[in-house]
Each structure stands twice: as C-alpha cells, then as structure tokens.
Amino acid sequence: MTINMRIKFIFLISILFSKPLLAVPESFADLVEQLSPAVVSIASTTIVENNNQNQIPQFPEGSPFDDFFKEYFDRDQRRSQRPMTGLGSGFIISEDGIVVTNNHVIEGADEITVILNDETEFTAELLGRDPKADIAVLKIDPKNKNLTYVGWGDSDKMRVGDWTIAIGNPLGLGGTVTAGIISAISRDLGGGPYVKFLQTDASINTGNSGGPLFNLKGEVIGINTAIIAPGQSGSIGIGFAIPANAASNVIDQLLKFGETKRGWLGVRIQEVS
C-alpha cells in the first residue's frame, strides 16, 4: 500500500467514526409557520385617574353655588378618568383556551384582550397569577374556533450555545420572530429565590414579555420576561426567560388553586444573649 493510499484510508476511517457536526439551520421558516398561531398579543386596559383634578371650592352651608359647583366638578371628575393600555405577549397551551403570560403584563388591568395572529380578539378571564414568579394564567372561550397550542420542553436540558427562537409582540408589532442562542443558564437577577433565568441573545424588546422562547423542536423552554437595556435603548442582546420547568410547576398550581402554594419553615432568627 502506497503512502497516498494509506492517507486516504486513514481519512475515510476518521470520517466514518467521527461524531457528525450539526449543521446550522438553513431556515426557521417551517418551524415558525407551525408555532406562530399559538403565540398571542395581549392588550391590558386599566382605568386611571388624572392627578390634575381641581378641588371643589368651599362655600357656606346653604349657598346656592354649592350644588352648582358639585355638579360641575362631578362631570370634570368623570372626564378625568381615562383608559391606559399596555401591550405584551402570551401563548396558548391547551385547545380549550388556556393562555400563559407574565404577571406584570396584566397586573392591575380592568380588562384583558387576547389577540390571535389572525387578529381575532377574545376577552380573557384571569384564572390566577403569581407576582413572585411573574407568571399569570388566562382563559379565553374559543367557541367554534380551533386553537393552535404548544407544549413544554425540558429547560434543564438546554445548554449554552443551543439555538432559541422568540416570537412575540414587541412595541406592538405582533408576530415578530427573532432567533439566537442560550447565552447563559441559572442567571440570578436579584428578584428573589423563586426563578433562575435563562439568558438569550435572541432580540427581546418591550412587548415581548410573556411570549415563548422555543427550542428547535418547537417546544417552549422559557417565558420571555426581562431585558437589560441601559438608558432604555432597546435590545442589546441580553434577554432573560423564566425556565419552562419552573414555569410549568407554577402554572399547574395556578390552574388548580388560583394561586401558588409554597412551603415554609416555622423558624425565626434572634440574637443569643
């Protein structure tokens, strides 16, 4: 066997027994087309009072001006109430219309509207929320409409460098898709001991909150929740998602009890004399 033949033989053996490298996806289009109908936009409407209300002048008892000014300021107070709308994202997890989002997207809302990607709108009912984990569960009545829904993935299996896809409603632009990788795991943002976040460089902006972070199997591995954006400059590639394993446990309790029940220890710390 010549030297050239030996080199070719060794090269072929190394190809046959080496671990194949996973190719970079040529496109996410097929996966996005499948997942987008399950991602919703959420509009929360809150009635707020203007702070610039005038005070009713004080008149002596029985004054003819008293009733006049009361009627005038009552009308002015009604005019001072105005609706304030917030925008966020969410996703459907069951065919009967269970929707998951962040608590801060709907907190304090007087009315919650869920908007599908085909612009169909539903008024949502709040089933439960957990401010500490920043998770809320809504319910819509699909009537005769067939809803597309998504399932949970195992967030514990995600590794730094794995591909991720975020779909949501940033800045009111519903159906926006961004892609990136897992940048870090178990990030502590100082919000308490209940959630250690997945960090991703998939572009996330205001309005993405509550939307899903997918793996390449189309499974939800996180709920997009926060970003670091110095000077409110928008996405700089540092976004955070609640891991699916932590979120699904909270959501199961919210569906069952309407609240999250956590264990506690009857221990109190005091100084020793």
pLDDT tens digits for range 134-173: 999 999 999 999 999 999 999 999 999 999 999 999 999 9
The model's confidence at residue 29, banded by pLDDT at 50, 70 and 90, is very high
Of 41, 183, 209, 248, the active-site residue reads 209
Residue 134 bears catalytic tag = yes
Residue from 201, 231, 230 nearest 213 by CA: 201
CA angle 223, 233, 45 (to 5 degrees): 55
Q: How far apart are CA 249 and CA 129, in angstroms?
A: 13
* pLDDT tens digits, one per residue of 87-118: 999 999 999 999 999 999 999 899 999 999 99
Question: Which residues, other chains included, contact 211 with Cβ-Cβ below 8 Å and sequence gap of 6+?
Answer: 39, 88, 89, 90, 91, 166, 167, 168, 169, 223, 224
* pLDDT at site 55: 58
Q: How confident is the model at residue 84 (pLDDT cuts 50, 70, 90)?
A: confident
Binning pLDDT at 50, 70 and 90, where does residue 61 land?
low
Give the SS3 label for residue 82.
strand
Q: What is the pLDDT of residues 232-266, one digit of tens each?
A: 667 888 999 999 999 999 999 999 999 888 877 77
- Options 41, 44, 89, 104, the catalytic residue: 104
* Catalytic residue check, 209: yes
Does 20 score more than 80 pLDDT?
A: no
Asked whether the CA dihedral 33, 174, 186, 235 is positive or negative, the reply is: positive
Tokens 């612009």 belong to which residue?
A: 119
Task: Give the active site residue among 134, 155, 201, 203.
Answer: 134
List Cβ neighbours of 109 (8 Å cut-off, separation of 6 or more). Answer: 44, 45, 46, 86
Nearest-angstrom CA–CA distance, 118 and 175: 10
Is the full-model pTM beyond 0.95? no
Residue type at 24? V
* Mean confidence (pLDDT) of the chain: 84
Q: Tokens for 165?
A: 């896809």
DSSP result, 93-130: -STT-EEEE-HHHHTT-SEEEEE-TT--EEE-EEEEEE
Active-site residue 156, yes or no? no
Estimate to the nearest angstrom the gap between the alpha carbon of 40 and the chain centroid.
Answer: 10
Question: How much is the pLDDT for 113?
Answer: 96
Q: How many Å is the maximal CA-CA distance in the chain?
A: 120
